[in-house]
Amino acid sequence: MGKSKVLVVGGTGYVGRRIVRASLAQGHPTYVLQRPEIGVDVDKLEMLLGFKKQGAHLVEGSFSDFQSLVDAVKLVDVVICPMSGAHIRSHNILMQLKLVQAIKEAGNIKRFLPSEFGFDPARMGHALEPGRVTFDEKMIVRKAIQDAKIPFTYVCGAAFASYFAGNLSQMGTLFPPKEKVLIYGDGNAKVTILEEDDIAAYTIKTIDDPRTLNKTLYLRPPENELSQKQLVEMWENLIGKKLEHISISEQDFLASMKGMDFAGQVVVGHLYHMFYEGALTNFEIGEEGEEASKLYPEVKYTRMDEYLKLYT
């Protein structure tokens, strides 16, 4: 048995480009959907041509042409769709329903990995409006996958390092604060933060692994399960300076939603669940899931003290 052939839908996106690179690095024949919707976005064109140089195959297809999706799916064994579910970028989760239909029609796919990677939506039934739309839509996609009896793996459970580590989890910036740092509540809720290339590496590891078939892979490597206070302390130790810590209460944080646009309200809601509830880590993994670093100890994931050195 050779390695599974992989189609990445959304391969020029923030997570998608890393999935493509990881798939190639792990020796999978890798196909990337080339969508006419990119128009004259030359950055995406250059990325696609770069993938081609590295050995990926470009496959034309469009969500507005159902048969083209079916034809693309028939070329491979596994489909991964890391399309954006973030309102601060683009929000395309329900577009995956067309892909689910194409996979069902093609009838040959042995594993589908839809857009997930963050909170486990199955655990977010209590989520606040308006941010809960992300979880509700992911559950609609999950139901369609399971109704169509498509084999799946859901990859969940980590905050992206670029958004949550270097900035010490501050809103509105991607760089660390110079003097003052906002601490959410007591700052002790645990959050798993992973470098995005590590997320991609773990994702690709699952696709030929029977242990993750029809299960959720939780990204919770123990050394990267950190509280915000621990993260801030790592940074302070690196720079040899104490920042002024300003705690914001749960009530004040939620009140800050007022007057924000829709995307801002979504972000506040998600941060609330992450830093006040600890929703990425406040549960035991049961029979429905596996933990990534236990299954794949060969993945040498980046520790956050090392990652933060990039910002010094």
SS3 194: strand
- Tokens 């009838």 correspond to 107
State the catalytic residue, choosing from 5, 44, 53, 138.
138
Which residues in 208-230 are b (16+ Cβ under 10 Å) and which e?
beeebeebbbbbbbeebbbbbbb
- The full DSSP string for 94-105 is GGHHHHHHHHHH
User: Two tokens at 268?
Assistant: 């506040």
Assign residue 32 a region (left: φ > 0; alpha: ψ between -120 and 50; beta: otherwise): beta
Interatomic CA distance for residues 99 and 72, integer angstroms:
10
User: Two tokens at 67?
Assistant: 């048969």
Residue 138 annotated to the active site: yes
SS3 253: helix
User: Two tokens at 198?
Assistant: 């590590």
Assign residue 172 a region (left: φ > 0; alpha: ψ between -120 and 50; beta: otherwise): left
Which residues in 142-173 are b (16+ Cβ under 10 Å) and which e?
bebbeeeebebbbbbbbbbbebbbbbbbbeee
Interatomic CA distance for residues 270 and 272, integer angstroms:
5
First to last CA, the chain: 46
Q: Which residues are catalytic?
A: 138
